[in-house]
Structures are given as C-alpha cells and as structure tokens.
Amino acid sequence: MSVEDRLAAMGLALPAPPAPVGNYRAGVIRGKVGSLSGQLPIRDGNPVVTGVLGRELTVEQGREAARLAGLNVLAQLKHLLEDFAALDGLIRVDGFVASMPDFLQHAAVLDGASDLFAAVLAERGAHTRSAVGVASLPLGMPVELVVTFATR
Amino acid sequence: MSVEDRLAAMGLALPAPPAPVGNYRAGVIRGKVGSLSGQLPIRDGNPVVTGVLGRELTVEQGREAARLAGLNVLAQLKHLLEDFAALDGLIRVDGFVASMPDFLQHAAVLDGASDLFAAVLAERGAHTRSAVGVASLPLGMPVELVVTFATR
Amino acid sequence: MSVEDRLAAMGLALPAPPAPVGNYRAGVIRGKVGSLSGQLPIRDGNPVVTGVLGRELTVEQGREAARLAGLNVLAQLKHLLEDFAALDGLIRVDGFVASMPDFLQHAAVLDGASDLFAAVLAERGAHTRSAVGVASLPLGMPVELVVTFATR
C-alpha cells in the first residue's frame, strides 16, 4: 500500500507544502542526506492553531497541532522527492513545543506527529526525537518539527 | 584501553540505556549517519535531577546533570552499535538547558558532558556543540543532549 | 567571483573565527557531513550585541546580530575547509532567537543570516531553516546559528 493510500485509509490527504517565509528552502538534499525546514501547523498559508501549551492549549490540542505539522512534513517530502519511493527513511525529528515553564508533557504532544509517521511510513518512519519546550515559535504557533532524512 | 576500561578507571559504568517515552526510537542509523534521541539525566527510568538553572539549580548541579545525560548517550551508542569499534566519531551535540532568562553559563553546564566524551572517546569524542537555554524540558529535567554521530 | 571577492564587494571581510568556549570543536567533518558549533554575534571574543527580541532589541537589531553570526559561520567554514572550493553546500541552519514569549518575527531576524549566505555562496548557500524563540543564549546574545553542511 502506498503512502498516499495509507493516508487515504486514515481519511487524510497531503496538503499543499507550505512555502518558506524567508530566504531559505523548504527542503535541501546533498549527497544522501536530506533536511526539511521547520514545519508548523499551518494550512493554506495560515496558522491552524496558535498558543502555548500549559496556558491556552491542552495536550490534546498540542497533539493535533503536531499531527498537522507532521502532515506538512509528509507534503514537503513528497514535493522534494517527487515519489516516496526515493525516501530511505526519516532519521531525526527535533520537536519544539511553545510551553509554559511548568509544562512537562512534550512527549505526549509530539506523539501526534510520531504516530502519523509510524502509521503511513512504517519502518521508513522510524526516527529519533528530541523534545524541547520553548518561549515562542514563528507566528505564535505551538509546535515546530525539524526533520532530517536519508534518500535512496 | 577500551571505552569501558576508561569509564571503569573513572569509577563509572554504563547505565541501562533509557527507553523512549513515546513512539520513536532511541537511535537510528541510515547510511553512515547516526542519530540519538534527546538524552536526559535519567537513571532506571526516573529523573535523577529536576529543576531550572538560575532558579533552584547551581552551575555545578547542571554540570553533573549534563554528565549523567552524557553517560546515557554512551549507553545508547553501545546498545545501538553493539561495540564502540563501530563508532567513527561524534559529530554534533545540541545541548538544551532549562534556564531562567538571566542564566548565561550554558557552556559551563554542558562541559559536564563534553568533558566525559573527551575523556572516554578521545579523538572520536570530538564534537561541535550548540548551547541553548529553554523554557522547559520533558519531566522537568534541566539538560537534554541531542547527538549526531558517524559510523565506520 | 570568489566568496572573498563577493564579501569585499559588499564591504565585508571574514572575521577571525571565534574560539570554542568549552571542551568542544568549532567544526567537525566526518565522511562528507560537516557541522559547526553554534555561532553567535561575537567579534574579537566579545559579544557585539546582547539582549532579547521583543524587549530591548528591535527586529532590525536582531537582523544585524544574525548577519554577524552568519559572518562567523563563513569564517568557521573557511578555517575548517581552508578553501570554499571544498564546500559542496550548506544543508541546514537552526536559528535560535532569544525572545520574549510574545515575539513572533523570528523569520525576519534570521533572514539577516540567510540573505548573507545567498549573496556570497549563491546556490551553495541554499539551506533549510528552523526558527525557534528561546529563553536565553550564551553570554546573553540574541541569536545563535547551528549549521550543517556537505563537503565535496
């Protein structure tokens, strides 16, 4: 079953890959190492959810934001590679969560993305992860995912 | 002298590598590039030290936390590679320190880990480093290390 | 036109590459993957600008700090590679910005560095970027750039 078929079976489709908001590229591949710019819970150029975990957002809302950012990761990979067949696999996902100092459930939030990658990319979705709570993210969004991957 | 012998000479032993706390892997290798998930000052599944630098923790306590996180880095490498002989060397260590806004001694804290890597891995422990003060880390821990390495 | 010529045409010259402030290396290359330690707006060993975006620093001051940190990135690359001809290209730039929680213009700040890379490295300066607002950076500086690159 293709990545697109797995997404469809989950009731999901790839969004348009968000354009960079500055003088950088959405994705770069040199050698067999690829990198994506930080992906946010944005759709059609607008933030879908803004706010800070531990203040106005619940863990469940953070998890949904991470899933949306994860969908954008998949959209960028497809756009850059043209076909998911060219993906050897994810390597590293750095997850930044806009957090109040007393917020401690970063892992539960970021599983919104990790669960998606496991469901649609299977073994190629296996990745390491860092989870860091930060003061603020671009446009006030709650989650940013920074992904490194390997190409075939 | 092996890595394990050098640790023993310092009165140290490799702990059990901490299990992931979400849907990701502790380590991933694709091609000759390896990545470890963020390592924390955790032992036997429990945080050894929690708190924020510049509030309840001193630089010396932060340094010790970084050393414990560094021991977990070594434990993960051994677990993933089976033998340190397969390690070409560390590449990059991203160090996140839970910090009050006026805390500025991130470098001194992170040397707790860098000194350990230099002592037990010698030239293969050479690494670049970033040092960033953040609002919060998983489970309230003060230091997180995110390591990229190369395999032979 | 060489990288140095392009800098000169902009009225710029490579500064001395800042020395590490702890037990790590300014740059590491293993295989064809290179990494630089976090670069700051430092000159001759001293911070050129300190402060937090959204408090005492304006976006324009942050942008200039990012440009200075970017010049240090170029200085480190030259020092490590000896000649820019050995650079295949930048891959990833992680940009950390010391920010008040309500500061949202990280992208505008970091373009200070991205614009410089585009101007002097042309296609080899193409990079992905992450933008994260954090509590504090070493020595109270407002911007830190963490760069991964590929060698020829």
Predicted complex ipTM: 0.96
pLDDT at B1 (0 to 100): 86
Q: In terms of DSSP bridges, do strands A128-134 and A46-47 run parallel, antiparallel, or are they unpaired?
A: unpaired
pLDDT at C1 (0 to 100): 86
Residue B38 with chain A: CB contacts under 8 Å: 129-132
DSSP string of C125-136, one letter each residue: G--EEEEEEESB
> A138 vs chain C: nearest CA distance in angstroms?
5
Q: Shortest CB distance from A144 goes to which of C33, C111, C130?
A: C130
Domains and CATH numbers, chain B: 3-151 (3.30.1330.40)
Question: Does residue C30 register a pLDDT over 90?
Answer: yes
* C136 in reach of chain B (CB within 8 A): yes
* A7 in reach of chain C (CB within 8 A): no
Chain A residue with the nearest C-alpha to that of B38: A130
> C132 vs chain B: nearest CA distance in angstroms?
10
pLDDT at A25 (0 to 100): 98
Give the integer Cα–Cα distance in Å for C62 and B62. Answer: 29
> B118 vs chain C: nearest CA distance in angstroms?
8
Give the integer Cα–Cα distance in Å for A89 and B41. Answer: 29
pLDDT at B8 (0 to 100): 96
Residue A62 with chain B: CB contacts under 8 Å: none
Residue C114 with chain A: CB contacts under 8 Å: 22-24
pLDDT at B127 (0 to 100): 98
H/E stretch holding A60 reads helix A59-81
Question: Euclidean distance between the first and final Cα of chain C, in Å?
Answer: 19
Q: Which residues of chain A have pLDDT under 70?
A: none
Alpha carbon of C133 to those of A73, B132, B138: distances in Å?
21, 10, 18
pLDDT at B46 (0 to 100): 93
Verify whether the Cβ–Cβ distance C130 to A21 is below 8 Å: no
* C27 in reach of chain B (CB within 8 A): yes
* C131 in reach of chain B (CB within 8 A): no
* B15 in reach of chain C (CB within 8 A): no
Residue C30 with chain B: CB contacts under 8 Å: 88-89, 91, 149-150
Q: Output DSSP code: residue C101.
A: T
Residue A96 with chain C: CB contacts under 8 Å: 130, 132
> Among C139, B120, B54, which residue's Cα sits nearest to residue A101?
B54
pLDDT digits (tens, 9 = 90+) for B78-132: 999 999 999 999 999 999 999 999 999 999 999 999 999 999 999 999 999 999 9
pLDDT at A1 (0 to 100): 85
H/E stretch holding A4 reads helix A3-9
Mean pLDDT, rounded, of chain C: 96
* B67 in reach of chain C (CB within 8 A): no
Give the integer Cα–Cα distance in Å for A146 and C111. Answer: 18
Which chains sit next to A, with 3 or more Cβ pairs under 8 A? B, C
How many contacts, defined by CB atoms under 8 Å, are there between A and C? 96
Unique residue bearing structure tokens 């590459």: C17
User: Which strands form A87-98's sheet, in the order they lie side by side?
Assistant: A27-30, A33-36, A143-151, A87-98, A128-134
Verify whether the Cβ–Cβ distance C114 to A22 is below 8 Å: yes
pLDDT digits (tens, 9 = 90+) for B23-33: 999 999 999 99
